Chain A
Amino acid sequence: MSELALSDPRSAAAAGAATVRVSIPAIAWRNLWRNRRRTWLMVAGIGFAGFLVVAINSIQVGTFTVMIDNTARFFAGHAQVQHPEFLDEPRVEHTVDDAAARLQALERLPQVTGAAPRAQSFALVAAAASRADPDAEPPAVGALVVGVDPQREFAAIRHAASSGRYLEARDEAYLGAVLAQNLGVGTGDEVVVVGNAEGGVAAMSVTVVGTFSTGQAEFDRSQMHVRLDAFQEAFALGDAVHGIAVTLADPAAAIDVAASLGDESSVGVPWQQLMPEVHQMAELKYQSSYMIYALLLVLVTFSIVNAFIMTTFERTPEFGMLKALGMRPGAIMAMLALEALWMALLGLAATLAASGLLLGTLANTGIPLTADMAGIMSQYLLPDRLYPVFGYRTAVEFGVAALLATQAAALIPALRLRRLKVVDALRMAE
């Protein structure tokens, strides 16, 4: 034993040339391999837990990123500029003025990839009385009538035509297929809209040029698009709109970008507020998964505490020897802490390797869904294959948590070393 002087670097220098300099980190590394089976089991334990955390989170990130983006592009946009009270009370008089100037300003912003002005109101919609039978009263249906700029409109609804085409000329209408069926109208028919404008009745007559079928019952049953200029005239809005929906280059930055879009008479509203059910669903899933992550981490920590209890128990004579040779308890504890560190880093490397393998495979092929599941997914605007996206944040959080937990796990049994009596410890070797 005398060749191997174990000491921390400061006293090693003082001890002179007779000592072989071996750093504590290196010794800690070698100690790990004295009981290979145990080390591998612990590394596998950390790796497995980490792999589960990363896999669960990556599938969620992959799902919700697509879902949020698709839902936003479907109609609402990543953010909207609105009257400050419009979100809570979507009333016809809560408008944003000077729409044309604002639109141009928005389109100049580098973060904004698209901007669509819209005016909207609930109104009574009915087929115009037929000439053949003027007495037959056609059914009237309540619908959300949206005035749009066909050149600028990005809503995916416009690409979901089940018959006809999207809006071009003034006084045209494009409406949900179910709504059209309920009204008893088709392409070429005339439709009358009656609504409440500020201080009077708003009325317009438009010709159906297309119907859409999105599979989203709410839209197909109740939405109708008309040209913005026709809507503004009928509802006496002038140059005002109810919102300018924008798509962003980076949807994740929606809150910050939206905050910068408002001024004294309008506010920028991010998608989190425009589509609260989508935002909450994602948050609920993310947050409830943390219960599972925490449980996994606790179980792994228990295992590691146990491993270090066994290690310190088996090596008590050795620690007694080290102490007898002059190694301070602090240095022994530091050695154990380093062993825990190496173990955790190996475990995290295993995590990365396993999840890299999984994600690398699935990133190309995707996770195919059963027909039933795909039905649900399409309701949430998801494709029939899921592509996981590596969840950096959760992976880093798990890594840090695992490092701290293993340090704590090594510390608990190591604290006993301070009370270690050299003679007793050495006697245990017999």
Chain B
Amino acid sequence: MPIKLLFQLSWRNLWRHRRRNGIMLSAIAVAVAGVVLLNSLLRGMQVDMQNTVIDNLNGHVKVLQPGYRDDPGIGRGFAVADGWEAELDPLEVVGWAERVRVPAVIMSERETRGVQLVGIDPAQEDISFLSGVDIVGEGLSGPDDRRVIVGAALAEQLETEVGRRLVLVTQGADGRNREAGYRIAGIYRASVAGLEKAFVFTGAATLQGMLDTLVVTEVSVRLTDDLHGPSMMERLKNTVFSELDVLSWRQLEPQAALMVDFADQAVFIYFLVVMGALVFGLVNTLVTAVMERVRELGMLRALGMKPRSVVAQVVVESSLIMTCGILLGLALALGVFSLVADGMDLSAFDESLASFGLRPVFVPVLAVGDVVLVAVMSLVLGLVASFYPARRAVKLKPLDALRR
């Protein structure tokens, strides 16, 4: 039986029951769109979580003194050789930053809090969340700036404001406490309140001066793509930072990495759940389409149509309706996605999202790979669902069928 005729027959058969097949088509479209959209929410969460971890002063790759993570302090600092950045491939790297980061106690006239005091070169911080924050007052002017910037939530707790002074106490390289007053240059507002409470920034050289040292405690590198991570880490470890720990963001935040990886499996889970609910209706429709054509199929068999062709007809019918449903579903998903692509306001769940490292404005992400995967899996499902109806059709004996 020529393929063209096969398609023609199947296509016309579909139009014999417009209402029924129209509804089946809509169901497939809704299911495909649903899986694609649910997945875009999860992908958005995955991208957001990963970016937050990287923005959160980690970078893709971070260099630390072994032991710094268990016992942070200037005692675990290291000297950075001039020109180490020559090892970085400029095509793979967005930027890098050297920082001095120590635990400290911050005191206003009224309140006391524990914070991380971070000495930075503001020009290098286009790789971290600092590049995106709104600052009331001024940012730091350079590594020699003798002022601090503090988070809005911390400023509120300390009952202080721009221009006022704060006292910071931390341990110097010799193990003795250092205490110094800093004027507040600016107050920053980050997307997550936890960051505002955790980090106080000042100039790197200023902090090194206070601690009587020239070392830094960390070097962060941000890459253009996570894929460059392993080779970059190996290069740094083998050349300039051989004595130090060179860690990826996955090693720094293993739990976030686990949740990020989970999103890769979720597309299959969503597909099974949603398509599982669809498949009963699909099989039902296909079986009915066979059963009500028993006489017709018997006639065709009697006229010499091969069983193979009968099976082919059922399979092609199923595939046709599936293909149309998938196309319609993808169009529907794209339509809905364009409405929410700019972001959804989830600020009602701010604190919970923050504990997952997520921002209150949530931006879904449509990954082409997922869309293709859903489309292909749906087609396969269409073939599988036509198996039982096709078997019914081929088991018909022409004589019995005609007699009915």
Contact = CB atoms under 8 A, between A and B. Distances in A.
Is A bound to B?
A: yes
A45 B105 contact: no
A299 B38 contact: no
Contacts of B34: 295, 299
A307 interface: yes
A333 B283 CA distance: 26
A37 interface: yes
A127 to B, nearest CB: 11
B273 A52 contact: yes
B281 A45 contact: yes
B310 to A, nearest CB: 19
Contact of B177 (A139, A296, A310, A375): A139
Contact of A122 (B26, B111, B175, B176): B111
B30 A277 contact: no
A296 B112 contact: no
Given A284-B352, A299-B30, A310-B288, A52 B277 contact: yes
B131 interface: no
A429 interface: no
B353 interface: yes
Contact of A42 (B27, B114, B284): B284
B116 to A, nearest CB: 11
Contacts, number: 154
B329 to A, nearest CB: 12
Interface string A295-332: 11011101111110110011000000000000000000
A49 B273 CA distance: 8
A284 B277 contact: no
Contact of A137 (B38, B114, B176): B176
Contacts of B169: 124, 140
B281 A299 contact: yes
A181 interface: yes
B42 to A, nearest CB: 10
Most buried by A among B19, B113, B346: B19
Contact of B353 (A42, A44, A279, A284): A284
A295 B176 CA distance: 62
Nearest to B285: A306
Contacts of A124: 105, 107, 112, 169
A174 interface: no
B67 to A, nearest CB: 13
Given A122-B112, A136-B176, A309-B19, A277 B278 contact: no
A281 B355 contact: yes
Nearest to A380: B355
A292 interface: yes
A141 B114 contact: yes
A280 interface: yes
Interface in B322-358: 346, 348-356
Contacts of A288: 41
A182 B72 CA distance: 9
Nearest to B176: A137
B287 interface: yes
Interface in B214-259: 254-255, 258-259
B216 to A, nearest CB: 21
Most buried by A among B23, B38, B292, B353: B23
Given A283-B349, A284-B349, A284-B352, A303 B177 contact: no
Given A122-B111, A140-B169, A276 B30 contact: no
B47 to A, nearest CB: 17
A306 B24 contact: yes
A48 B276 contact: yes
A303 B112 CA distance: 63
A404 to B, nearest CB: 17
B280 A280 contact: no
Most buried by B among A45, A48, A138, A196: A45
Interface in B67-117: 71, 103, 105-107, 110-115
A38 B288 contact: yes
B205 interface: no
Contacts of A401: none
Interface in B263-299: 270, 273-274, 276-278, 280-281, 283-285, 287-288, 292
A306 B351 CA distance: 44
Contacts of B115: 142
A292 B31 CA distance: 10
A243 interface: no
A283 B26 CA distance: 31
Contacts of B350: 280
Contacts of A310: 20, 284-285, 288
Contacts of A211: none
B351 A300 contact: no
A28 interface: no
Most buried by A among B110, B346, B350, B351: B351
Nearest to A281: B352
Contacts of B26: 302
A182 B19 CA distance: 73
A143 B103 CA distance: 12
Given A142-B105, A277-B352, A291 B280 contact: no
Interface in A264-280: 276-280
B112 A44 contact: no
A361 B112 CA distance: 52
B250 to A, nearest CB: 12
Contact of B258 (A123, A300, A372): A372
Interface in B189-212: none
A298 B30 contact: yes
B105 A295 contact: no
Contact of A141 (B105, B287, B356): B105
Given A49-B277, A280-B349, A182 B27 contact: no
Given A196-B111, A277-B355, A284-B352, A306 B281 contact: yes
A303 B103 contact: no
Contact of B287 (A37, A137, A298): A37
Nearest to B29: A302
Nearest to B178: A137
Interface in A115-133: 122-124
A376 interface: yes
Contacts of A372: 254, 258
Nearest to B270: A292
Interface string A172-193: 0000000001100000000000
The 8 closest A-B pairs by CB, nearest first: A303-B281, A142-B114, A280-B352, A45-B280, A302-B27, A281-B352, A142-B105, A277-B351
7 contacts: A41-B287, A141-B114, A292-B38, A295-B38, A299-B27, A306-B27, A375-B254
Given A45-B281, A48-B280, A280-B349, 7 more contacts: A42-B280, A124-B107, A141-B105, A292-B274, A303-B281, A304-B281, A309-B19
